[in-house]
Structure 1
């Protein structure tokens, strides 16, 4: 009997579990709900907490705690609501009590050594801690101390040695909690919401600056839009923070396509400051890329460059004519060299040539002899090479080369058909003849 009584008092029964969740969901409605929640957590057995409440319910509870201690929301344009000072003082007081509950919850999760703490619970605790740990209008010395303690305890509960390790993971191939944090913040970092929560940009930037390469690379699509929003804002404080975030992203991701999203922002800034020029940042970056491409012999880098080049040509449009001389040399050089089974470099260069013909077609007739010779040589090489290139890759190369010939013919008023007439009739290789036939029959 005694053992049964002790067991029932130390682990939450189904009714206690329901009471735990009810208390969490009622945090914003009943003043005593936070005290009740703390008492229920204190009575919970660490090993049974996850099993009885479940990860999803605990994450919901953690989200409610963060919401209770959130700073007052601003208007959509960032304007402060009325009664701001009183509201800020109330937030600091609530943050102390919410922090105490988070400490209790994290301690229980840390004590349950046999089970990994739910990532979403840790993510919500992280957002709470970063929101309140520094000097802000909604914090006091006491609330900052509690938040700092929450940050330290959640790192321990996750089995990590530092905040950086918590966010990125212990090993290069291990997934940390940065993705979870960004997933929770996602709705607070859109164009219409990021100014309404005054803490969202602080949490985002503080976490971002602690994730370096190679751990940041998989999160590029999530971190780049908020950084661009910040850097494009009219307020100097936000602009500086955004540029700092962008600088960190470029240094730790170093992807050329990332620059394609950054350059429009830089261009707008230059126009606002009256620094209009005949050439744009696009031209400067492309010129540098082409310079490196001409001298590059390592196949891995040739693939990377060739894969990004079509996007640059598309962004510049007709202005690609400024770079045609050097671009032509790069195209010819890359078409001559096979880069392995996947032929990523050649495929990327063929796509680049197609984009270039489409955008700069008035300049193509004078380049027809050189380009026609290179494409015909490619058709022959692909057909005759006996390397490890799979058949679908060969077919893709032949198709893209054929499409380039068709485009050249269109912008050169049928000259390609005339020049290929004799070649088509004398060619004995079926696959090459089929490509030439498609060009001859194109309209």
Structure 2
């Protein structure tokens, strides 16, 4: 009786034929009529309250009927087109306010976001009821999967985008909206027969096409150069979805996913630059190098990312350096870098030169930490070729060892690791820099040993141990010269703590090691 009462209460348009009073309205009649009423001028002029009441009525109807009412052949079922239009109308009802291109993002307390969050929560409930019917219909013997595949094909992409838009903790979302959106996403996975979002996007079984192409098709109108800034959620939905698709599936969609990260990374706002570079990094790590090198894509990425090294934003420089390290591995495997006569400077050396130039004049501690923590990876990547850059690298190491950077001493600890790697790779050339490096290490040890600040004892111990390891490596590649030079220092030193570390160097047996032995030997023992 409840189902019949709800359906009869909807004012259906007359069709010109006599209706059988013993039959309740069909899905073919109810849903188009709802769409007409929902989009009517009267409902829009009455404001969101009128539409909200209609959404609640629709939810009550969907919860009252069974799956045969929607998908069965008798009475006439709702067509996929009607359901697609219904989903589109509800998505528009819960859509976020459009923003002016180039304008600043709205704050979380903006009233438009609060209203959109409430409407999105109500729309999520309707979608959940619809997906519940889809799940039941898929398992019904007299309906089967074929009866709902066409429906799911029409609604899965838009519903996914809607759910992801409101799942994340963003300025436009609220706890109630996030909870319902998360439940909606789980219902969508269940209706599509998937266990996780990555499985949903790439395909649940081998050879089965996932929904990633459908999702990208839904996002396509909002991913252009003119439109991506209007919807504040577009970039976040794209970024989160992209992170779910990995190798080897991502390469199938490379042309679709590459433009927006390039647009984001070229934006004037730092948060967009960071998001764009993170997306590009994911693409670099999950697309085969051969495909990235086709059509000069890798070079385009390299030049787009390289320019960000001039930035003074520590968070941006951090993601740029991490991305470049993986992109350089792709670039230098390309045929133009594998000839018998390599160019005067590889991309790795170009990046290192610019990084060293920036490091030498940088005074911001946040940036100094970022540079120092990533420099070791570049030294390791260049290997013996780091010897070509010792003239610029030495003053950087000395300068970074001189200045403390807070209680954690992240920059100085990372610089010691860089020096250690440099000695191991370029040990035949280190005797030329022995005097300067020895003074810098001894000054560091004295500063740390006599430090009376809030630096934790464990950090001081790590600094002293790192400096000692560097002294041992310098001694081995200089045929014992360090021990000779330290004899006078050891006798004059009045700090017992520092003398303990100097004694480790003095007591270490003098021996000359090859490059391979230096790399293999554990000096920390």
3-state SS of 1:301 partner? helix
TM-score normalised by structure 1 residue count? 0.64
Counterpart of 1:239? 295
CA contact (8 A) 1:38 1:101 kept: no
Out of 407, 412, 415, the residue aligned to residue 478 of structure 2 is 412
CA deviation digits over 1:379-399, x for unaligned, max 9?
Answer: 111122333333322222111
CA deviation digits over 1:19-60, x for unaligned, max 9?
Answer: 99xx8xxxxxxxx999589769979995644666889x99xx
CA contact (8 A) 2:284 2:292 kept: no
Counterparts of 1:266 and 1:277, CA distance in 2: 13
Counterparts of 1:35 and 1:51, CA distance in 2: 19
Shift of 1:164: 5.2
Out of 376, 382, 397, the residue aligned to residue 310 of structure 1 is 376
Counterparts of 1:434 and 1:53, CA distance in 2: 74
Shift of 1:312: 1.6
Question: How many correspondences in the alignment?
Answer: 360
Counterparts of 1:107 and 1:288, CA distance in 2: 41
* Structure 2 residue 62 is matched with structure 1 residue 11: yes
CA contact (8 A) 1:351 1:400 kept: yes
Counterparts of 1:106 and 1:193, CA distance in 2: 19
CA contact (8 A) 2:127 2:159 kept: no
Counterpart of 1:361? 427
CA deviation digits over 1:115-164, x for unaligned, max 9?
Answer: 443485699799455654xxxxxxxxxxxxxx58x967x9xxxxx99565
Counterparts of 2:128 and 2:149, CA distance in 1: 28
Q: Which runs of 5+ in 1 are unaligned?
A: 24-31, 62-67, 69-93, 133-146, 155-159, 169-175
Residues 222 and 330 (structure 1), Cα distance of their counterparts in 2 relative to 1, 3 Å cut: same
CA deviation digits over 1:391-441, x for unaligned, max 9?
Answer: 322222111111111111222223323332343344332220221122223
CA contact (8 A) 1:182 1:222 kept: yes
Shift of 1:353: 1.0
TM-score normalised by structure 2 residue count? 0.55
- Higher RCO (CA-CA < 8 Å; seq separation 6+): 1
Out of 327, 331, 355, the residue aligned to residue 266 of structure 1 is 331
CA deviation digits over 1:164-203, x for unaligned, max 9?
Answer: 52234xxxxxxx32343114433xxx2x4445x4xx1233
Counterparts of 1:234 and 1:318, CA distance in 2: 29
CA deviation digits over 1:214-268, x for unaligned, max 9?
Answer: 24636856642534776943698x5345554555555675523432222333332
Counterparts of 1:395 and 1:225, CA distance in 2: 37
Larger Rg, first or second structure (1 or 2): 2
CA contact (8 A) 1:306 1:349 kept: yes
Residues 275 and 13 (structure 1), Cα distance of their counterparts in 2 relative to 1, 3 Å cut: farther
* Structure 2 residue 155 is matched with structure 1 residue 101: yes
Counterparts of 1:366 and 1:103, CA distance in 2: 64
Counterparts of 2:213 and 2:278, CA distance in 1: 24
Residues 431 and 165 (structure 1), Cα distance of their counterparts in 2 relative to 1, 3 Å cut: same
Residues 250 and 107 (structure 1), Cα distance of their counterparts in 2 relative to 1, 3 Å cut: closer
CA deviation digits over 1:69-98, x for unaligned, max 9?
Answer: xxxxxxxxxxxxxxxxxxxxxxxxx99976
CA contact (8 A) 1:368 1:408 kept: yes
Counterpart of 1:88? none
3-state SS of 2:487 partner? helix
CA contact (8 A) 1:164 1:211 kept: no
Counterpart of 1:348? 414
Equivalent runs, 1:312-391 vs 2, <5 Å: 312-391=378-457
Out of 232, 257, 275, the residue aligned to residue 165 of structure 1 is 232
CA contact (8 A) 2:83 2:151 kept: no
CA contact (8 A) 1:230 1:239 kept: no
CA contact (8 A) 1:357 1:408 kept: yes
Shift of 1:106: 8.2
Counterparts of 1:371 and 1:105, CA distance in 2: 61
Q: Which runs of 5+ in 2 are unaligned?
A: 7-56, 91-121, 139-144, 166-173, 190-196, 202-209, 309-315, 510-525
Equivalent runs, 1:16-165 vs 2, <5 Å: 16=67, 35=79, 46=123, 48-49=125-126, 100-101=154-155, 115-116=177-178, 117-118=181-182, 120=185, 127-128=212-213, 131-132=216-217, 165=232
